[in-house]
Amino acid sequence: MTYGGRVWGDPCPGCGYSWATTYEDALELIAGAASRYGELIRGREEKAMVKPDADTWSPSGYVWHLSDWFRIQGQRIYALASDPLYRWLHLRLDPAHLGEIFKYDELPPTGGLWALQKAADLFVEAAKGADRSLVFDIGEGDSWTVGELVVWVGHEVIHHDKDIRAGLGLRALPFSERRSW
């Protein structure tokens, strides 16, 4: 069973994502995230900067979060695959800390969507250039393959689609419909 399935259950109870999603399908989700989120946000830019409640980011905040997360994980994949000196370091970084540091919720979505597309391109390039069976230790006695990391990042796209839709007051789509971008 994949890491995501072990930790959250299969499918993800929050968004319906199936951890059996293929590597190729996950890369397609990642590559298309900025375009899809842009369709949701277009014409709703001001609303996208409003936090729906204190415990979540605004829709724009989720876009900025994923732009950083794609870039960070893409850099890690590239380094793992291309540099024999690189060792996976557990960052002990809560993504919420990045949101606080960079004030995701105060940033307009237009720049975030641009950054998300650039980060997605880097992530996909790094993943396609890596051996998906490459194993790395993620700390606490657990390990992942590059393929598992890609599928996990694909989950982030689907999960935050749900969050963005909720923040914009849009109907959530079942996983089967969100998967067919």
Residue 137 backbone zone (phi > 0: left; psi -120 to 50: alpha; other: beta): beta
Q: Model confidence over 128-173: pLDDT tens digits? A: 999 999 987 776 777 889 999 999 999 999 999 999 999 999 988 7
Report d(CA 28, CA 32) in Å as an integer. Answer: 6
Classify 15-176 by CATH class.
Answer: mainly alpha
Average confidence (pLDDT) over 29-54: 96
* pTM attached to this predicted model: 0.91
Report d(CA 163, CA 52) in Å as an integer. Answer: 10
